[in-house]
Amino acid sequence: MKKSDYTILVADDDPDYLFQTVFNLGKAGYKTITAESQAEAESIITKFKPDLAIFDLMMETDDSGFILCYKIKKLYPDVPVILATAVSRETGMSFSLDSGMEKSWIRADRYLEKGIRAEQLDQEIMKLLKI
């Protein structure tokens, strides 16, 4: 399969970040669907199975991204999820998926700090989609 065969759901309440991410994903060849809130993303995943999802951590609530990870994995366990956040920069708190315990409750396949370069994001997506 080629990149244009994949649809990526991007959920983020920051319109600038959402636009930039979707622009870069389109330039890389992917199709995208966007959600500007946790509620909108939840509505989309009940009707549509994306090939991969990128969720912001903090939207309506501080744990919106965690909730979305849980809900999408419950519906579609095989859909890879990237949790993208600036929480470390904004709060000093940090998470990782290095330990089995954190991986079991975070439910994301990758955890990336916002500000990731477009090429690096594309590489992570290709790894997760096995392109």
pLDDT in tens, the chain (131 residues): 899 999 999 999 999 999 999 999 999 999 999 999 999 999 999 999 999 999 998 888 888 888 999 999 999 999 999 998 875 444 445 554 454 544 444 568 988 888 889 999 999 999 999 99
Distances (CA, A) of 11 to 16, 87, 98: 12, 16, 24
Pairing relationship of beta strands 52-56 and 7-11 according to DSSP bridges: parallel
pTM above 0.95, yes or no: no
For the chain, what percentages of helix, strand and coil (3-state, to nearest 5) are there?
Answer: 50, 20, 35
**Taking CA 114 as the corner, what is the angle to CA 50 and CA 71, rounded to the nearest 5 degrees?**
35
CATH superfamily of 3-129: Response regulator (3.40.50.2300)
Instruction: Determine the pLDDT at residue 107.
Output: 67
